[in-house]
A and B are shown apart, each in its own frame.
Chain A
Amino acid sequence: MLRSGGRKLLKRLDLRESWVIFFVLGNVMLNFPFLKIFNQPTTLFGFPIMYLYFTIGWAISIGVIYLFASSSEPEAPDQQTDEEESL
């Protein structure tokens, strides 16, 4: 139930554009001045905040790619590519 709801949500996000948005978002988050927020020697539970930011952010981004890539797989929009013979 929850799964299919998530799937629907992913579909509504219009997959093709989402990739661009994520790419741009990732670029922003990995550059100054955004990085400046975490660029301080404080620690959280003993872990440096910057280290946590990178590690957790990275894991989340992989999760996001996984979700979107697997939800787009069944009806990948451009799979009609084995047409070369007709050329």
Chain B
Amino acid sequence: MTLNIFHVALIAIGYTLLLFLVAWYARRRFEQGRSLVNNPLVYSLSIAVYCTTWTFYGSVGKAATSGIDFLMIYLGPSLVAFSWFYILRRIIRISKENNVSSIADLISLRYGNSQLLGSLVTLIAVLGIMPYIALQIKAVVTSFAIVSGVSDHAIKLGAPESSITLPTGFALALILSIFGVIFGARRRPTTERHEGLIAAVAFESVVKLFSLLVVGIFVTWYLFDGFGDILNRFQSQYPQLFERLFTLKAVQGNEAIRSGALCVQEFCLLVNHSNPVLQNDVIPSSTMLLMSMGAILLLPRQFHVMVVENADLNHVSKAMWLFPLYMFLINLFIMPIALAGILQTGSTTGADYFVLSIPLRAGNESIALLAFLGGLSAAAGMVMVESVAISTMLLNNMFMPILVKFIPKQWFPLVLINLKRIAIFLVVFLGYFYYRAVGDSFMLVNMGLISFLASMQFLPAMLGGLYWPRGNKSGAIIGMALGFIIWCYTLLLPSFYGTTTNHHIIEHGLFGISLLKPTALFGLTGMDMWSHSMFWSMLFNIGAYIACSLLIKQGEMEKEQVRRFIGKYETERSQLKSTAKRLSKPVTIPQFIALMGKFIGPDEARRSMSVYLKGRKLDEENMVPEFELPAMKRYVERTLAGSVGAAAAGAIMDSYLSDMGSRMESVYDIFSTVRASLDQSREALYVRLKASEIINRTLNLQTIMDELLQLLLKEFRLDSALIQISLNSDAKLAVQSYQGSDRRPITPEHWYQESDPYIRMALADQRTHFVNDISNIQEVVAMPKTSAEGFVSFAHIPIFREGEKSLGVLSVYSKSIRGLFTEEFVNLLTSLTGQLAQAARLVEEMQAKEQERKEKEKAQFDNAMVKRDMEIAEQIQLSLLPATPPVLSGVELAGRCYPATYVGGDYYDLFKQDDHTIDLLIADVSGHSVGAALIMAEVRTLLRAHAGRTISPSSILATLNSQLYEDLTRAELFITMFYARYSSATGRLSYANAGHNMPLLYRIGAERCTRLDAEGLILGIKPSVIFEERSINLQQGDTLFLYTDGITEAANHEGELLGIEKVCRHLFLNGTLSVDDIAESFHELVKEYMQSSTPQDDISMVVMKIVA
């Protein structure tokens, strides 16, 4: 029985709408930032796109005809899942880093962005996938025919007599192409991820699993009584077949189905043919296992869903068991269905469609329809993903290399998206044409295996690329090309066998050489077509890959990629410096944005760039630092790669740069030898070592600077180097050292003065300013003289210690090398200037210390000089005092003076006026400085002038005051003085006092001593003073004691003064002693009282005793 065609069509359309709904919802969720697709379950289901109509229909056919070995196609991928932890994760990581959009991209990227390789991979993919898509079309067309009963593979439109017919296959191809366009090429994204497509594919995977399970359960438990029942019945009905289906015949394949009774379409075709070589043996299980193991990763659509559409690396570990589980479930009922089909129909004819025909035979429409939808799902999902994946490859690796020859225009994005749409149609229709050509002569599974083997050609280049550092481009290209040619010759060509009339090559070999027979190449017979083709193609592919890789050298680009792909992948990658290359002419950010805009649209370009800049704290307005440029260029290239593929992106970037007059050039490798440590080359270490040697050898800053510059000139190819330093903070910069060529006098006209703006910038922001190519300098800072001298690059490095002001600038110039200043070199120079700053600071500190020491010495010397002078002054001053008291009859006299320091302000004197008269005076100039001593000398001189004149003591004081007033005022000093005159003839003492301590008089028999008081102002206060003059008669035994305040104001440790009372008392007790003894006793008194031998103040006294 069949179903109504419109019924079926309606259900199919409804199902299609549901698919679109799923895709639309996924896309919406993604745009809301709540991705539906970003989870391991969906990821695993999308990988299940592996299970196509081949699985859905073909597996049953395979199981029914050749038996259990159909499982190999699923056991292989399941086994490979063990290796995903290594291989798949690594591929995904590399792909994400490089925005890889297809397997062609990845392979061409690994081999130095080779466009040729990319094109070759694409070609193989496009041709290789042809039978696979044909398989899907065939399956759907046939299943549609079975379900709806439409024969002739065409749907008649309109009235039955109408001549317009629409071939089902063509219609299907058209619909599938449109599907592909809608899901995969609706608009041009920057990355190749399609949320909607993946959601739809995952949904389809659920549908096909569900429908196959339902059919399986229906067949096993509804039509039969469980699997055991089916097996029992089958074993009893077809014991021979049972044995054959449940054993593998890999070893002795020749004894296969010769009987012919169970021959299936193409087997019959080939077996019946007269040429025994074309016998189609059963494919050994190992061949299928190997092919499926390769296919799971290498088929373009598998690569697309597993790698390109992978949202999170961590999904892999879940998919590792979820995907095999899916395959396990979907295969669970294949065998029961196959056996049940044979049991029901009695033959294996049409075994490919048992899934559909058994429910139909049982009259269960809905299950048949479900099965049809499952098959449709399986086909649609595969064709959609495959066409999207391959169209991406076609666009990036076939169309782009041609397109990039043109100058990018604003309409480019439009062209690209339409080219991609055309590519999708191309891929699907190639499959359709193949189906038209050979479709009916092959079983589904065997068609699929042709594609599997084509994708196997990627295996050596892929695995070698990931794990073999020496694998190179030429090896990959030659190996892959040879493998592809052999595949074409030994598998694709014979696949047309049944459909062409010209069998000459297939039967007799090329040019009639039997050794070149496609199915028995070089005389290799006894193998099935697939194993035979696999053996030869893989032999040549792997052989050529290894041989060429060993014989031919890798290119520069390749070597860099090898480091990215292999090596100590995890550790080394982060240390890959972006400074290996530099842009000879800087490109600005707006220029980059404009370039990207031409391929991915201006808005997307701006957004993409701002993402990049945000992560790097850069500003769109600013110039990009030179070291940033290569990294930014790589980012732009990578962004483009997401849209046009790696090889094309590289080509676009190259042609863009060359249009700009810029190019990537190798950085002059100043550190050419092997790196001694991770971040420093041996040279850099050597120079650092040398520099610290120089710095530690001497403290002469000039020598350090000169030698440092010489070292730089010698080690690096510099032509001039100079150091400008301002030695103290306010001084202007001055050239302190100049080494290298062109040592002309340094004048304001010297060429280096042109660098002044850079130097000032370096001083101010304490960063290195350098120009790697003088011809790139903008007009603002023109340097005509410098470039006229032939300099091409220069750098100015500030000399400073961390956290301090810049001391100066080191400037280096090169005449020979553009691009000399790499990040590494600049770092080295910066560290050298750091050391220099340290040394300069050290020298400065040493000099300061030296200065201090000298000053101290001088002070000590000066001090000694002063001390000597003071000692002399002391001697002189003491000599000014009366050496011995004058002799006067009836009077004993004694005078003492003990200065507190070398010189003092105390003064006493004794003049003998005549034989009976003596003048005695005691004075105290304020302070005990040298000034006081000088005034004292002056007083003495003035008094000596009066000696011999008989004017009264009061007049003497008055005269003295007026004479000294000005000097004292000027010196801010004053004098207290007691002046007395004693006449031994009369026994009368007349005296006047200018504010001095009142002298004491001790009289024998008196109870206490008398103070001699007289009114009078201190000398030097007023210009003119009148002094009171008093007189007293002295008797025999009277002792007069004149003293200065050094005695009365002597203080003990508690700060108590000696005081006049104690002095009085002392005089009272000792008044009977001789004058000298009295004087000594007072000195002792003071010393004892102070408990110190050095007086605080000058001590002076005069003692006079009347003896007769």
Inter-chain contact A31/B321, CB cutoff 8 Å: no
Interface contact B86-A54, CB-CB below 8 Å: no
List residues of chain B with CB within 8 A of the CB of A26: 79, 82
Q: Pick the contact of B335 from A36, A51, A61 — CB < 8 Å? A: A51
B251 within 8 A of A: yes
Q: Chain B residues with Cβ under 8 A from A23's Cβ?
A: 79-80, 82-83
Decide if A76 touches B317 in the complex (CB within 8 Å).
Answer: yes
Cα separation A72 to B235 with both chains bound (whole Å): 45
User: Shortest distance in angstroms between A86's beta carbon and chain B's nearest beta carbon?
Assistant: 6
Q: Which residue of A lies closest to B231 (CB)?
A: A46
Q: Is B1101 an interface residue (CB 8 A)?
A: no
Report how far A76 CA is from B78 CA in the complex, Å. 21
Report A43-65 CB contacts with B as 1/0, cut-off 8 Å.
10111101100100011011101
**Which residues of chain A (62-87) have a CB below 8 Å from chain B?**
62-63, 65-66, 69-70, 72-73, 76, 78-81, 83-87
Chain A residues with Cβ below 8 Å from B576 are: 87
Cα separation A58 to B770 with both chains bound (whole Å) = 65
Q: Does B783 contact A (CB under 8 A)?
A: no
Selecting from B242-250, B426-434, B689-697, B1080-1088, the interface stretch reads B242-250
B570 adjacent to A78 (CB under 8 Å):
yes
**Interface 1/0 per residue, B1014-1047 and A, CB below 8 Å:** 0000000000000000000000000000000000
Q: Does the CB pair B246–A48 fall under 8 Å?
A: yes
Q: Name B76's closest neighbour in chain A (CB-CB).
A: A30
| Contact yes or no, A54 B68, CB < 8 A | yes
Q: Does B992 contact A (CB under 8 A)?
A: no
- Given the complex, which residues of B lie within 8 Å of A81, measured CB to CB? 93, 313
How many contacting A-B pairs (Cβ < 8 A)?
A: 118
Q: Does B771 contact A (CB under 8 A)?
A: no
Taking A32-B251, A50-B247 as contacts, is the C-beta distance between A69 and B318 under 8 angstroms?
Answer: yes
User: Contacts A54-B75, A73-B317, A78-B570 hold; do A43 and B235 have CB atoms under 8 A apart?
Assistant: yes
Task: From B75, B89, B97, B251, give the contact of A58 (CB < 8 A).
Answer: B75
B1092 on interface, CB distance cutoff 8 Å: no
Q: For the complex, give the distance between the alpha carbons of A73 and B314 in Å.
A: 8
B71 sits at the interface (CB 8 A): yes
- Bound complex: CA of A47 vs CA of B230, how far in Å? 10
Mask, B607-621, CB within 8 Å of A = 1, is 000000001000000
CB distance from A85 to the nearest CB of B (A): 5
Chain B residues, Cβ within 8 Å of A62: 78, 321, 324-325, 328
By a CB distance below 8 angstroms, the chain A residues around B59 are none
In the complex, how many angstroms separate the beta carbon of A63 from the nearest chain B beta carbon?
8
Contact A31 B246 (CB under 8 A): no
Interface residues of B in 38-66 (CB under 8 A from A): none
State whether the Cβ of A41 lies closer than 8 Å to any Cβ in chain B: yes
With a cutoff of 8 Å between Cβ atoms, the chain B residues found around residue A43 in the complex are 231, 235
Complex Cα distance, B80 from A35, in Å, reads 18
Q: A39-B248, A41-B242 are contacts. A84–B97 as well, Cβ < 8 Å?
A: yes
Per-residue contact bits, chain B 684-725, to A (CB 8 Å; 1 contact, 0 not): 000000000000000000000000000000000000000000
The answer to whether A4 has its CB under 8 Å from any CB of chain B is: no
- Tally of contact residues, A, Cβ under 8 A: 45
Cβ-neighbour of A50 out of B93, B248, B321, B631 (below 8 A)? B248
Whether B79 and A35, one on each chain, are in contact in the complex, defined by CB atoms closer than 8 angstroms, is no
Q: How would residues 230 to 266 of chain B score, 1 for a CB under 8 Å from any chain A CB and 0 otherwise? A: 0110010000001100111011000000000000000
The answer to whether B75 touches A30, judged by C-beta atoms less than 8 angstroms apart, is yes
Assuming the contacts A23-B82, A62-B328, A86-B574, asked whether A30 and B246 have C-beta atoms less than 8 A apart, the reply is no
Bound-state Cα–Cα, A86 to B83, Å = 29
The A interface, classified by DSSP as helix, strand, loop or mixed, is helix
CB neighbours (8 Å) of B318 from chain A are 69
User: From residue B633, how far is it (CB to closest CB) to chain A in Å?
Assistant: 13
Tell me which of B235, B246, B576 has the highest count of chain A C-beta atoms within 10 A of its own C-beta: B246
Complex: A26 Cα to B76 Cα, angstroms:
9
B325 partner residues in chain A, CB cutoff 8 A: 62
One of A32, A48, A58, A72 near B324 (C-beta < 8 A): A58
Query: Does B285 make an interface contact (CB < 8 A)?
Result: yes
Q: Is the interface of B mostly helix, strand, loop or mixed?
A: helix
Q: What is the distance, in angstroms, from A36's C-beta to the closest C-beta of chain B?
A: 8
Interface positions, chain B 408-448, Cβ under 8 Å from A, are: none
A69 near B247 (CB under 8 angstroms)?
no
A85 to B328, CA, bound (A): 41
A58 to B81, CA, bound (A): 12
Chain A residues within an 8 Å CB radius of B555: none
Point out the residues of chain B lying under 8 angstroms from A22, CB to CB.
Answer: 82
Pick the most buried of A15, A45, A66, A73: most chain B CB atoms within 10 A of its CB.
A66
A66 to chain B, nearest CB (A): 4
Cα of A48 to Cα of B85 in the assembled complex, Å = 34
| Interface of chain B residues 82 through 99 with chain A (CB within 8 A) | 82-83, 85-86, 89, 93, 96-97
Identify which of B68, B76, B321 contacts A69 (C-beta below 8 A).
B321
For B902-934 the 0/1 string (1 means CB < 8 A from A) is 000000000000000000000000000000000
For chain B, the bracket of interface size reads 35 or more
Knowing A19-B85, A87-B574, the reply to whether A76 touches B314 (Cβ < 8 A) is yes
A61 to B83, CA, bound (A): 13
Query: With a CB–CB cut-off of 8 A, which chain A residues contact B317?
Result: 69-70, 72-73, 76
Query: Which chain B residue lies CB-closest to A65?
Result: B321
Interface pair A80/B570, CB less than 8 Å apart = yes
A87-B578 in contact (CB<8A): yes
B residues near A79, Cβ cutoff 8 Å: 313-314
Interface check B286, CB cutoff 8 A = yes
Known: A73-B317, A87-B631. A35 touches B248 (CB 8 A): yes
Tell which of B97, B286, B320, B335 touches A31, judged by Cβ atoms closer than 8 Å: B286
Question: Which residues of chain B come closer than 8 Å to A51, judged between CB atoms?
Answer: 68, 246, 335
B523 CB within 8 Å of chain A: no
Residue of B whose beta carbon sits closest to that of A78: B570
> Are B85 and A61 touching (Cβ within 8 A)?
no
Q: Is the CB of B251 within 8 A of A19?
A: no
How far apart are the CA atoms of A25 and B320 in the complex, in Å? 17
B141 at the interface (CB under 8 A from A): no
Which of chain A's residues have a CB closer than 8 A to the CB of B86? 16, 19-20
Whether B450 sits at the interface, judged by CB under 8 Å, is no
How long is the Cα–Cα vector from A25 to B819 in the complex, in angstroms? 55
Complex interface: chain A residues within 8 A of B321 (CB): 62-63, 65-66, 69
With an 8 A cutoff between CB atoms, is B228 at the interface? yes
A84: B residues at CB distance < 8 A: 96-97
Q: Indicate if the CB atoms of B314 and A30 lie closer than 8 Å.
A: no
CA A26 to CA B289, docked complex, whole Å: 11
Asked whether, in the complex, the Cβ of B324 is within 8 Å of the Cβ of A61, the reply is: yes
Of chain B, the residue at the smallest CB distance from A26 is B79
A10 shortest CB reach to chain B, Å: 13
- In the complex, which of the residues B89, B247, B578 has the most CB atoms of chain A within 10 Å of its own CB atom? B247
In whole angstroms, what is the CA distance A86 to B615 when docked?
Answer: 9
CB distance from A44 to the nearest CB of B (A): 11
Q: 9 shortest A-B CB distances, which residue pairs? A: A48-B246, A41-B243, A23-B82, A66-B321, A65-B321, A26-B79, A69-B317, A22-B82, A19-B85
Interchain residue pairs with CB less than 8 A apart (20): A20-B83, A22-B82, A23-B82, A26-B82, A30-B76, A32-B250, A35-B248, A35-B250, A35-B285, A41-B243, A46-B231, A48-B68, A48-B231, A51-B68, A58-B71, A58-B75, A59-B328, A61-B82, A65-B81, A76-B314
Q: Which residues of B contact A (CB under 8 A)?
A: 68, 71-72, 75-76, 78-83, 85-86, 89, 93, 96-97, 227-228, 231-232, 235, 242-243, 246-248, 250-251, 285-286, 289, 313-314, 317-318, 320-321, 324-325, 328, 335, 570, 573-574, 576, 578, 615, 631
Chain A residues engaging chain B, CB cutoff 8 angstroms: 15-16, 19-20, 22-23, 26-27, 30-32, 35-36, 39-41, 43, 45-48, 50-51, 54, 58-59, 61-63, 65-66, 69-70, 72-73, 76, 78-81, 83-87
Other than the given A16-B86, A30-B285, A39-B247, 14 more pairs (CB < 8 A) read A23-B82, A30-B79, A32-B250, A50-B247, A58-B78, A58-B324, A58-B328, A61-B82, A61-B324, A62-B324, A62-B325, A66-B321, A69-B317, A78-B89
